[in-house]
């Protein structure tokens, strides 16, 4: 049987409990590693990881190939492909 286990969060250092029920769930799913972060740190990591945890996304200035309007795109524009502003891209 599983027993509750206290683990120190690798991000904040606070202790959290890896319950017997959670351990059983992990075993059923075939997970072999114990959690390393407490729930608040896991949730914060999920919210902040939409861009891979890299911080602010770099944007590049470009001119829309359709309407000629200045726009910002999240990739470095190349001459061999058209660039569209968000309005023209939605069309």
The pLDDT, as a whole number, for residue 2 is: 92
The sign of the dihedral angle between the CA atoms of 89, 67, 69, 84 is positive
The pLDDT, as a whole number, for residue 38 is: 93
The pLDDT, as a whole number, for residue 55 is: 59
Q: Is the pLDDT of residue 34 over 80?
A: yes
Q: Is the pLDDT of residue 53 over 70?
A: no
Question: Which pLDDT band, with edges at 50, 70 and 90, does 39 fall under?
Answer: very high
Contact 5, 18 (CB under 8 A): yes
């Amino acid at each position: 049987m599983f027993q509750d286990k206290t683990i120190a969060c690798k991000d904040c250092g606070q202790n959290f409990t890896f319950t017997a029920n959670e351990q059983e769930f992990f075993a059923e799913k075939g997970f072999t590693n114990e959690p390393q972060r407490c729930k608040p740190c896991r949730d914060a990591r999920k919210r902040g990881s939409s861009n891979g945890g890299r911080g602010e996304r770099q944007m590049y200035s470009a001119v829309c190939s359709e309407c000629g309007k200045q726009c910002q795109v999240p990739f470095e524009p190349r001459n061999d492909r058209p660039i569209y502003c968000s309005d023209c891209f939605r069309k």
